[in-house]
Amino acid sequence: MSVFSGRKALVIGGSRGIGAAIVRRLSRDGASVRFTWAGSRARAEDIARETGAQAIRADATDRSAILGATRDAGPIDIFVFNAGICIAGDPLVLNPDDVDRMIDINIRAAYHGAVEAARAMPDGGRIILIGSTNANRVPFRGLAAYSMTKSALQSMVRGLARDFGGRRITVNVVQPGPTDTDMNPANGPEADLMHSVMAIKEHGCAEDVAAYVAFLAGHAARGITGAMQTIDGGFSA
Ligand code: NDP
């Protein structure tokens, strides 16, 4: 029998990169998976076809869409909030609307999605948010707003772990370091700079982040909650 057979999972933001790797991993491990997408219809359809997971359009900037997608999934055993954007640059010139959009996706949707998932979640369920090592360390200019959105997830999981712990629901944040995706390609112009502050001087891969998520979703992680799970090649060491 597969690890997650009989379990239902919802991944918010599963069409590309780390989210797609999580959809693949949880599906492979036997979960019945739904995932959301916003802009990448073709990529979402490919992942759905490949994994058998169900793809649902829900833009994370729209609270009612996230609440609806979560509610419609019914009782979810494993809720993963992965959707995120990175708006980086000089805070004096960044477009405030872009920053607010990032806050909407990275913080507001994560909070409302997690709370909605917890409503019908069976005892022993799992809530996993994808944060960033930049919540711990901001060694470069231009990352204040992005890092702020990810450090918000730290107190979110600490608090929600207390709120839902009586039902043995665990709430954690996984904090990747530089990971090879569309958002942060391993051959991108900033790669050498990022590697310069890492102990292991290379990008991580989405599949390793997905493996960490699968561990947290599993039985052996039942005592881990309200905690930061960093997988960053020593970026924050
Ligand atoms: P990608 O840009 O490769 O993928 C982002 C994913 O988020 C896509 O599936 C995208 O879906 C979804 N998404 C973006 N905006 C929305 C929205 N408005 N509504 C719903 N879904 C949305 O990024 P990564 O895979 O690299 O990043 C995934 C997560 O990991 C993010 O939270 C990011 O901050 C975090 N992270 C990434 C790191 C990296 O180095 N790659 C490092 C640290 C953290 P669609 O295309 O369909 O809109």
Looking at residues 27-35, what average pLDDT do you find? 98
Decide if 98 is inside a domain.
yes
How many Å lie between the centroid of ligand 1 and the Cα of residue 236?
Answer: 21
Decide if 237 is inside a domain.
no
- pLDDT confidence bin for 87, thresholds 50/70/90: very high
Decide if 3 is inside a domain.
no
- Spatial CB neighbours of 96, under 8 Å, sequence gap ≥ 6: none
Looking at residues 104-114, what average pLDDT do you find? 98
Side by side, which strands form the sheet with 32-37? 54-57, 32-37, 8-12, 78-81, 126-130, 170-176, 227-231
- Residue-wise pLDDT for 204-229, tens only, equals 999 999 999 999 999 999 999 999 99
Residue 111: the pLDDT is 98
How many Å lie between the centroid of ligand 1 and the Cα of residue 24?
Answer: 15
Separation CA 127–CA 143 (nearest Å): 26
How many Å lie between the centroid of ligand 1 and the Cα of residue 166?
Answer: 31
- Spatial CB neighbours of 53, under 8 Å, sequence gap ≥ 6: 14, 23, 27, 33, 34, 35, 47
Residue 1: the pLDDT is 62
With the most atoms of ligand 1 within 8 angstroms of its CB, the residue from 10, 12, 16, 209 to mutate is: 16
**ipTM attached to this prediction:** 0.99
Q: Residue 122 carries which DSSP code?
A: P
- Spatial CB neighbours of 165, under 8 Å, sequence gap ≥ 6: 225, 226
Mind telling me the catalytic residues?
Answer: 146
What percentage of the chain has pLDDT greater than the value 70?
A: 100
CATH number at residue 69: 3.40.50.720
Coil/strand/helix, residue 80: strand
Residue 137: the pLDDT is 98
Decide if 20 is inside a domain.
yes
Decide if 89 is inside a domain.
yes
Tokens of 134: 């930049």
Coil/strand/helix, residue 55: strand
Instruction: Take atom 2 of ligand 1 and give the residue whose Cα is closest.
Output: 183
Decide if 131 is inside a domain.
yes
Total domains, the chain = 1
Mean pLDDT score of the chain: 98
Q: Which domain holds residue 59?
A: 8-231
Decide if 189 is inside a domain.
yes
